[in-house]
């Protein structure tokens, strides 16, 4: 049967593919330790689960408005005021089936064929494919490790073409853990105003920040910048609700309305039960968020220390999210157990076969020298996984 060019040229998500391969190996009885998937390992907090159960009992089991229920939109406004100090109206909020779906809806609503988007590399795996799905083009500006994975804003400005409509940032970043400080956001906002760009700000990890950092959104810079900012957020990472599939955007009303129209034709509405639980997550006690954040910080210290202790690996200390992104390029050109490692993909494949440790190669994120390890797993797994990596790389 015919398959559209649009889909034929699309790559499956590299992180999901790597995780699926690791799970296959586990099913074959192999003792694989997975560091591949970006999913908190904590259960969804009990009160949120209970809210989901109550939602079913109370009959929240029917279609909702395409852009989300009034209750969830109001909860998002309340949480946005609490967390960012921003007053937002429900009409500026559109809810979708997770932040990934919302990002797809944004590109579907923003891009005409040939429109250009600037990404920051290393970038999250899905951005580029989603731009292409909607006939957009993209280039990636490198955010080098030496700058703690924050780009030079002059390089961002230099990447603007006469077709550039948006720049997409993700702070804290998946996969690098890089965090834009307030001054970085202000410098980016200046470029966006001067060049008339929309800023898409993926803030899905904003509650997972370390060393006392606080989150700063482009929407906080000024009213002028807010008018050109689309915030992307969701409950997946903050509340360990990846399977519930609730994400949202906050943008100027007219744009938000367009996204709602698109979604009304594509999905009708996000899951009604999950919307109720997400509202409770946002409005209820937030203690679990801090417990998980603190746990991630402790694991970050553990994994970064262990990785840097391996000969030939250098790992920056991520400022947020739950990924270590070590540089493994010192192994390129070296032979281990009869295999010559030329790329990060080779290193990642070698570690899966020889150390039974799954990671994601940097190429999936637009960079050549690194691999990504999620530290959303136990201290025991981190310790054992790093020991296996050290042994396999030693020869
Ligand atoms: C940077 C980033 N944005 C968006 C998402 C999508 O999150 P979800 O669709 O679960 O809300 C992820 C998930 O891994 C992510 O890492």
- The response to whether residue 261 sits with its C-beta less than 6 Å from ligand 1 reads no
**The pLDDT of residue 125:** 87
Chain-centroid distance, C-alpha 270: 20
The arithmetic mean of pLDDT across residues 31-60, rounded, is 96
Domain boundary among 251, 283, 315: 283
**The pLDDT of residue 230:** 98
Distance CA 196, CA 224 (A): 11
State which residues form the domain around 32. 5-43+288-394
Residues 263, 325, single domain; the answer is no
The arithmetic mean of pLDDT across residues 181-201, rounded, is 98
Atom of ligand 1 nearest to the CA of 99: 11
Residues 69, 156, single domain; the answer is yes
Q: Is the pLDDT of residue 87 over 90?
A: yes
Instruction: Using a pLDDT cut of 90, give the percent of the chain over it.
Output: 93
Residues 323, 342, single domain; the answer is yes
Q: Is the pLDDT of residue 21 over 90?
A: no
Q: What is the pLDDT of residues 139-153, one digit of tens each?
A: 999 999 999 999 999
Residues 115, 242, single domain; the answer is yes
Q: How confident is the model at residue 19 (pLDDT cuts 50, 70, 90)?
A: confident
Q: What is the pLDDT of residues 192-225, one digit of tens each?
A: 999 999 999 999 999 999 999 999 999 999 999 9
Residues 345, 271, single domain; the answer is no
Q: Is the pLDDT of residue 14 over 80?
A: no
Residues 61, 130, single domain; the answer is yes
Domain boundary among 283, 306, 334: 283
**The pLDDT of residue 9:** 85
pTM across the whole model: 0.96
Domain boundary among 228, 248, 283: 283
Q: Which has the closest alpha carbon to 304: 211, 214, 383?
A: 383
Q: Is the pLDDT of residue 327 over 80?
A: yes
Cis peptide before 175 (omega within 30 of 0): yes
**The pLDDT of residue 7:** 87
Beta carbons within 8 Å of 243's beta carbon, 6+ residues apart: none
Atom of ligand 1 nearest to the CA of 38: 14
Residues 130, 235, single domain; the answer is yes
CA-CA-CA-CA dihedral for 161, 166, 172, 177, to nearest 10: -30
Chain-centroid distance, C-alpha 335: 34
Quick one: residue 200, left, alpha or beta (phi over 0 = left, psi -120 to 50 = alpha)? beta
Beta carbons within 8 Å of 255's beta carbon, 6+ residues apart: 109, 110, 230
Residues 227, 375, single domain; the answer is no
**The pLDDT of residue 195:** 98
Residues 35, 64, single domain; the answer is no
Q: Which has the closest alpha carbon to 332: 318, 313, 316, 315?
A: 313
Q: What is the CATH number of the domain that holds 334?
A: 3.90.1150.10
Q: Is the pLDDT of residue 17 over 80?
A: no
Instruction: Using a pLDDT cut of 70, give the percent of the chain over it.
Output: 100
Residues 20, 91, single domain; the answer is no
Q: What is the CATH number of the domain that holds 205?
A: 3.40.640.10
Distance CA 227, CA 133 (A): 26
Ligand 1: centre distance to CA 330 (Å): 30
**The pLDDT of residue 22:** 84
**The pLDDT of residue 18:** 76
Q: Which has the closest alpha carbon to 248: 89, 38, 130, 72?
A: 72
Ligand 1: centre distance to CA 100 (Å): 6
Q: Output the residue whose Cα is nearest ligand 1's atom 13.
A: 38
Residues 247, 181, single domain; the answer is yes
Q: Is the pLDDT of residue 12 over 80?
A: no
Ligand 1: centre distance to CA 395 (Å): 36
Chain-centroid distance, C-alpha 201: 11
Residues 190, 260, single domain; the answer is yes
Burial of 268 from C-beta contacts in 10 A (0-12 / 13-18 / 19+)? exposed
Total count of domains within the chain? 2
């Amino acid at each position: 049967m015919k398959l559209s060019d649009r889909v034929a040229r699309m790559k499956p998500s590299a992180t999901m593919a790597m995780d699926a391969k690791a799970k296959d190996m586990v099913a074959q009885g192999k003792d694989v330790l997975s560091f591949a998937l970006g999913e908190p390992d904590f259960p969804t907090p009990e009160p949120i689960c209970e809210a989901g159960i109550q939602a079913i009992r109370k009959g929240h089991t029917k279609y909702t408005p395409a852009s989300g229920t009034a209750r969830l939109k109001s909860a998002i406004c309340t949480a946005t005021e609490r967390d960012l100090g921003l007053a937002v109206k429900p009409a500026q909020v559109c809810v979708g089936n997770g932040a990934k779906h919302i990002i797809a809806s944004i590109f579907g609503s923003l891009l005409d064929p040939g429109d250009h988007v600037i990404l920051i590399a290393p970038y999250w795996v899905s951005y580029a494919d989603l731009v292409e799905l909607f006939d957009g083009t993209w280039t990636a500006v490198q955010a080098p490790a030496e700058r703690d994975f924050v780009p030079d804003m002059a390089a961002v400005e230099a990447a603007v073409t006469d077709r550039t409509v948006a720049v997409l940032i993700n702070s804290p970043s998946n996969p690098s853990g890089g965090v834009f400080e307030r001054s970085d956001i202000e410098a980016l906002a200046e470029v966006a105003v001067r060049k008339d760009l929309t800023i898409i700000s993926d803030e899905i990890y904003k509650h997972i920040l370390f060393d006392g950092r606080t989150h700063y959104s482009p929407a906080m810079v000024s009213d002028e910048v807010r008018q050109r900012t689309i915030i992307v957020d969701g409950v997946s990472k903050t509340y360990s609700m990846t399977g519930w599939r609730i994400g949202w955007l906050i943008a100027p009303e007219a744009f938000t309305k367009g996204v709602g129209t698109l979604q009304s034709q594509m999905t009708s509405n996000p899951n009604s039960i999950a919307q109720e639980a997400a509202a409770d997550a946002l409005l209820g006690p937030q203690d679990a968020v801090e417990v998980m954040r603190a746990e991630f910080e402790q694991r970050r210290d553990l994994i970064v220390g262990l990785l840097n202790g391996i000969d030939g690996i250098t790992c920056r200390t991520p400022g947020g999210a739950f990924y270590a992104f070590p540089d493994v390029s010192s192994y390129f050109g070296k032979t281990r157990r009869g295999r010559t490692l030329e790329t990060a993909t080779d290193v990642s494949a070698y570690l899966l076969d020889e150390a039974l440790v799954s990671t994601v190669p940097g190429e999936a994120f637009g960079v050549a020298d690194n691999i990504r390890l999620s530290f959303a797993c136990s201290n025991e797994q981190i310790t054992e996984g790093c020991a296996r990596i050290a042994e396999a790389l030693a020869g």
